[in-house]
Structure 1
Amino acid sequence: MLQVLQNVGSGETTVAQIPCPLVKRGEVLIRSSKTLVSAGTERMLIDFGKANWFEKARQQPDKVKMVLNKVKTDGLAPTIDAVRSKLNQPLPLGYCNVGRVIEASASEFNAGERVVSNGHHAEVVRVPKNLCARVPDEVDDESAAFTVIGAIALQGIRLVAPTVGEAVVVTGLGLIGLLAVQLLRANGCRVLGIDFDSAKCELARQFGAETVDLSKGEDPIARASAFSRGRGVDGVVITASTKSNEPVSQAATMCRKRGRIVLVGVVGLELSRADFFEKELTFQVSCSYGPGRYDDEYEQKGHDYPIGYVRWTEQRNFEAVLDLMASGRVDVKPLITHRYDIDNALEAYRKLDDRSALGILLNYPKKGAESLTNSSVVLCKTSKYEGSSVVLGFIGAGNYASRVLIPAFQASGAKLHTVVTSGGVSAVHHGKKNDFVNAATHVEAVYANTDINAVVVATQHNQHARQVCDALNAGKHVFVEKPLALSCEEIEAIETAHSRQGGKYQIMVGYNRRFAAQVQQMKALLEPVSGPKVFMMTMNAGAIPADHWTQDPDVGGGRIIGEACHYIDLMRYLAGSKIKSFTATSMGASPGIPITEDKAAITLSFEDGSFGTIHYLANGGKAFPKERIEVFANDAVLQLDNFRKLKGYGWKGFKSMNLWKQDKGQSACTEAFVNAIKEGKPVPISFDEIIEVAKVSVDVALALRNQ
């Protein structure tokens, strides 16, 4: 299927062949009929993409600070690589879609129904159920395509809370502004529209508004005073896009005492206290389509807000706009200026430079269902593989997988065959970039392919155990990014699958730190030491929001299972002895700190008498190094600072080992796995040790949660 993508780094817009997305629980798969190009938002994204690095940095000063902190801790080269990788990610464009349901895993929708959604410009889209709404029979597809952008205008108006007969100003008569004019008129308000474009002012007059044409030198303050009969307007909706502070300042001057100002667009926000103080004005910024926006519980997990408490969610705003269209009180036909087929989408985007362009529609000609719902795309010709070749199928291509794992496996000599992601876009992007043969959205493309003999699992943590078992059952070796599993039951399932195959197919977890060059040096120095060792390991992990998926015990498993497992494995490796017992203590409960598990001390005791403490701390500062490892043994000390500086105190023949850039062992880790499979040897981490570390990680997390 075809989809419109933008490269944020270069600003290049393309129409790409993408495999049909995989519909997940609570989602709706939709065959697009029409989509609307947002002249405001999408033009802004394209302009940002075309800007140079300096201009991008100037527009996002908060991101610059993050980059500078990363340079201090990780070094310049890794930071530049991370920034380039982020900017080169493909961005799906579009958020105003109408089409017919192909498949729904949500019971609220049925195949064949017409729906609107915030789906992208693509022949087939998958959308969470709460971001879809049925289209009434009275509303055609072209009109319905304006629903989402209409909901943006409607949410701004709801915050103004106008009553019948009130005088309201709309500043900026683009698509959202002109829809706001109609919605306010439908609400019984008198409307004054302001813009520099005479044609848009004329449209606003057709919709029942009075206007101020700034291109003719008309004074908006004087007109607003006359419009409100000298009392001041009741409210102002700002739908303009400008860096100037003038729209807000003018709005404050126009308003009556205790008037309401709502910002829907993007304008300068250097406010003057004097403008607002004497009149006790209310100023509010509207958030997109309405309540539920950017709330994963509502959008991704499908938990609706009770109507008695939240009357107008974003979905119900969609429905309200559609009802107004069905009754004829909102008419978008005059707003349509251009129509293009999806194949010619690039011409549509070139039209954005024409400021007279308003409603640009993309049309999706009918094609055979099979061609649209194909879950795999061929990227290049299949090679003939030698018998000893390690041919990989990659499941998942997120940030870490795409930046670190895929290049590392490619450098190790493995053959990259198929990459799978549920949405398809990143699979195609990284597949082309790294010479994969296929990009797909269904994991069966990996399991069923007889050329593939090893699978890399790099998906969300709650999928790891199932995908490891499925890969083993399909007769594949498995490299799984940590963690191996989230529960004892999942660990047992993996043990069963491994045993069922008689250990023929190997499993390795991406515990890369033990393969780092400096850790290998530490291991070599510790090898001759016969007595017990003492370890101190500090992970200055940094805060992650409580609602991030990694913090969800059912999805990410929490940060102890998901990340501290690295250090449990590392200590187990350096000790060279089985873990006998552990104790774990976390920060006590405190108001305003929803999660304490990620601020913990974990002490491991080993069978040879060694012990060590892992300080996994999410409440530190970014200016401090992220990782520090200290080993006390044989009247000497080893200290590894952030995988860049290793110092030896009292070690005969060893003082230091410093690196120009961080090496956390990812390349050596992947190379060790590939070589083991290629040579028919066991992987470097034994299956028993992998299971041991997984069980201890789960037990530690449970102990901390039950404190």
Structure 2
Amino acid sequence: MKQIIQDLKNGQTILEEVPAPQVKSGCVLIQTTRTLVSLGTERMLVEFGKASYIEKARQQPDKVKMVLDKMKTDGVMPTVEAVFNKLNQPLPLGYCNVGKVVAVGKGVSTFKVGDRVASNGNHAEFVNVPENLVASIPDNVTDEEAAFTVIGSIGLQGIRLLNPTFGETIVVVGLGLIGLVTAELLRANGCIVIGFDFDPQKVEMAKSKGINAINPAEGTDQVKYVLEQTNNIGADGVIITASAKGNEIISQSANMSRKRGRIILVGVIGLDISRADFYEKELTFQVSCSYGAGRYDEDYEQKGNDYPIGYVRWTEKRNFEAILQAISSKQLQVTPLITERVSLNNYEEIYGDMKKAGSIASILEFPENSQRTNVVTITPNNFNNAKGVYGIVGAGNYTSSMIIPRLKEVNAHLKYIASAGGLSSAILAKKGGITNATTDYQEILNDKEVDTVIITTRHDLHAGMVMKGLQANKNVFVEKPLCLNTQELEEIITTYKESKGTLTVGFNRRFAPLATKMKSLVGNGPKNIVATMNAGAIPPEVWVHDMEVGGGRILGEACHYVDLCSYLAGSNVTEVCMNSMGTNPSDNTDNVSILLKYENGTNAVINYFANGSKAYSKERVEVFTQERTLIMDNWRTLKGYGFKGFSTAKTAQDKGQKVQFKLLNERIQTGGEPIVPFDSIINTTKASIAAIDSLKEGKWIKID
């Protein structure tokens, strides 16, 4: 299928060929018929992509600070690689989609195949959208009209926050697409509407809809005009739908408002607010978030948990439905707003010049015979039944920045990459010279030429995919963690014993040059180990904190250091105890100390903290044994005290990924012992799960 994307690195807008998405649980798969191009929002993305690196930096000063902090701790080259990798990830454009349902996911009851629906899907021939972001289209509403659903909901949400009453005077600043829809909805709500815009054609369009529209460029003082129209009282409310860099709009909005007036920001403007403007009138100011309640709430959007209507009357979905009803009843007339209709293949007629005078709404028309294929060949290759032919499942940031480059360095044969949506796999296939991009990882398991599967998906999918890979007798490499609970672990052990394939978990730290050096210096006897991960805070809404999806940061990341300590100890864990910061311990925590006892007498303490300074090293390991001490700092320096012939070693930051994949590729091609012993993988996983159990039960947990 075809999809429009924005390349952030060079600013190009591209019609990309990608595999069609699979319908997911709680979602519907939609074949697109029409989409609406949001000339304001999408123009901002396109212009950002075309900007130079310096201009990009100026637009995001907070990101520049993050980059500088990373350089101080990780070094210049790792930081530069991370930045360019981020810029290499294109953005899917579009969020106003209309089409018909062609597949329904598990658990969806409100839609069936053949339904016409509106959603926030991208400009793509097929889109997979969660049920709570989809609305049914009334029979008397055309696909073209329904394409305004999401844009209309953005304006409607601003109105709901303003909470206007019948007869109030409301000013709409900016009469672009959202502004015009907002003004018309306010009129339908019984409000007196004054609109301002510098585009004469948009002003005329507003006037044709009965709006008191003014072009300030013709000499009208906006503040004085509003005061004249309201008998010097001022506007009851102002909705800002304009896009501007300066602070003039917010100042004017305050000055034209009555005492205790309300100002709602829907657009993007400078926000250097004058305290005096707001203090004297006791004005209220609020920023509107997209389409309505539920936006960016994963429980609502992705998991389908609706808000009770008695407590949250207007959610995103209910706003969608309200807009469609307004179009159906002719309270909202959107057809006059359409400036042009363009077929998908001619998309450049829109994106080539997004500043055309008079442009308001552009409609993309999609072909009726769109081809829905799960596999797209990107770079034809012939592997001639070679050993070490890989299929990668998961196309996230780590796969892009670390796994694919390291596999390419060791000349691995990459035949597939799979992702749920299709776009990321197609982009990475092109970037990494991978033969096929797919949205169905079963294609990888069914291909007899593929002997190795690499799994880099979200953590809750690991166990099931590992077992399916082993059942297909593939060699399986899975990024940590192996699984999230004991039941999954026992099922994996059983499946492994019955499989002809091998199993490796991505515990790459043990392969780092400084780790192998430490191992060679301290040997296998008992020792004391102190390992600190200054992990940094991750926002609570990020999926890794979801215990059902990510398993929390201890299972998801601290397991790295359980394995590293076991490697340095040369032994297996026998007992675990974990303590967390705070007076009310929770298994979903990221500020803990983990104590490990080993068979050979080694003691290890893993300090995993999320509350430290980013200026401090992210990782640090200390080993004490036989009156000698080693201190490793951030995988860049190693210092030894009490060692004959060794005092210090330095490297560029290297956490072992390259050596890990080099050894893995060699083992697959030539055979030999696993690069991480199976019993060590199981012991590390048991110890990581036991750490969570220890916190819950408040005691040491023995490892079988």
TM-score norm. by structure 1 comes to: 0.97
Residue aligning to 1:378: 377
Instruction: Tell me the CA shift for residue 450 of structure 1.
Output: 1.1
- What SS does the corresponding residue of 2:80 show, helix, strand or coil? helix
Residue aligning to 2:702: none
Contact conserved, 1:509 with 1:690, CA < 8 A, in 2? yes
Which of the numbers 602, 616, 622 marks the counterpart of 2:608? 616
Instruction: Tell me the CA shift for residue 213 of structure 1.
Output: 1.3
Q: Which amino acid aligns with 1:507?
A: L
Residue aligning to 1:675: 666
Distance 1:237 1:553 in 2: 40
Describe how 1:632-671 pairs up with structure 2 within 5 A. Answer: 632-659=624-651, 661-671=652-662
Contact conserved, 2:196 with 2:213, CA < 8 A, in 1? yes
- What SS does the corresponding residue of 2:347 show, helix, strand or coil? helix
Q: Which amino acid aligns with 2:441?
A: V
Instruction: Tell me the CA shift for residue 190 of structure 1.
Output: 0.9
Distance 2:588 2:323 in 1: 44
- What SS does the corresponding residue of 1:382 show, helix, strand or coil? coil
Residue aligning to 1:522: 518
Contact conserved, 2:184 with 2:332, CA < 8 A, in 1? yes
Residue aligning to 2:544: 550
Residue aligning to 1:166: 168
Q: 1:595 to 1:55 in 2, by over 3 A?
A: farther
Describe how 1:555-594 pairs up with structure 2 within 5 A. Answer: 555-589=549-583
Identity %: 50
Describe how 1:161-310 pairs up with structure 2 within 5 A. Answer: 161-310=163-312
Q: 1:135 to 1:626 in 2, by over 3 A?
A: same
- What SS does the corresponding residue of 1:571 show, helix, strand or coil? helix
Q: Which amino acid aligns with 1:52?
A: S
- What SS does the corresponding residue of 2:433 show, helix, strand or coil? coil
Q: Which amino acid aligns with 1:70?
A: K
Instruction: Tell me the CA shift for residue 36 of structure 1.
Output: 0.5
Residue aligning to 1:9: 9
Residue aligning to 2:341: 339
- What SS does the corresponding residue of 2:195 show, helix, strand or coil? strand
Contact conserved, 1:212 with 1:223, CA < 8 A, in 2? no
Q: 1:594 to 1:491 in 2, by over 3 A?
A: closer
Instruction: Tell me the CA shift for residue 594 of structure 1.
Output: 7.6
Contact conserved, 1:351 with 1:357, CA < 8 A, in 2? no
Distance 1:582 1:169 in 2: 64
Q: Which amino acid aligns with 1:12?
A: Q
Residue aligning to 1:394: 392
Moved more, 97-106 or 593-602: 593-602
Contact conserved, 2:295 with 2:316, CA < 8 A, in 1? yes
Distance 1:276 1:207 in 2: 32
Residue aligning to 2:434: 436
Instruction: Tell me the CA shift for residue 334 of structure 1.
Output: 1.1
Counting matched residue pairs gives 696
Contact conserved, 2:227 with 2:233, CA < 8 A, in 1? yes
Residue aligning to 2:508: 512
Contact conserved, 1:198 with 1:215, CA < 8 A, in 2? no
Distance 1:595 1:688 in 2: 26
Residue aligning to 1:54: 54
Q: Which amino acid aligns with 1:642?
A: N
Describe how 1:382-531 pairs up with structure 2 within 5 A. Answer: 382-387=381-386, 389-501=387-499, 504-527=500-523, 531=525
Instruction: Tell me the CA shift for residue 595 of structure 1.
Output: 7.1
Residue aligning to 1:112: 114
Residue aligning to 1:534: 528
Instruction: Tell me the CA shift for residue 355 of structure 1.
Output: 3.3
CA deviations over 1:273-321 (Å, ceiling 9, x no partner): 1111121111111111111111111111111111111111111111111
Structure 1 regions of 5+ residues with no counterpart?
none
TM-score norm. by structure 2 comes to: 0.97
Q: Which amino acid aligns with 1:461?
A: H
Describe how 1:16-27 pairs up with structure 2 within 5 A. Answer: 16-27=16-27
Residue aligning to 1:94: 94
Distance 2:267 2:534 in 1: 39
Contact conserved, 2:593 with 2:606, CA < 8 A, in 1? yes
Q: 1:548 to 1:480 in 2, by over 3 A?
A: same
Distance 1:201 1:608 in 2: 81
Task: Let me know the Cα RMSD of the aligned residues.
Answer: 1.3
Contact conserved, 1:397 with 1:419, CA < 8 A, in 2? yes
Residue aligning to 2:73: 73
Instruction: Tell me the CA shift for residue 545 of structure 1.
Output: 2.2
Instruction: Tell me the CA shift for residue 246 of structure 1.
Output: 1.5
Instruction: Tell me the CA shift for residue 98 of structure 1.
Output: 0.7
Contact conserved, 1:212 with 1:219, CA < 8 A, in 2? no
Residue aligning to 2:623: 631
Contact conserved, 1:101 with 1:112, CA < 8 A, in 2? yes
Moved more, 667-676 or 226-235: 226-235
Contact conserved, 1:542 with 1:621, CA < 8 A, in 2? yes
Distance 1:100 1:479 in 2: 39
Distance 1:578 1:315 in 2: 52
Distance 1:199 1:355 in 2: 8
Distance 1:702 1:162 in 2: 53
Residue aligning to 2:684: 693
Instruction: Tell me the CA shift for residue 386 of structure 1.
Output: 4.8
Instruction: Tell me the CA shift for residue 353 of structure 1.
Output: 2.6
Instruction: Tell me the CA shift for residue 597 of structure 1.
Output: 2.7
Q: Which amino acid aligns with 1:115?
A: V
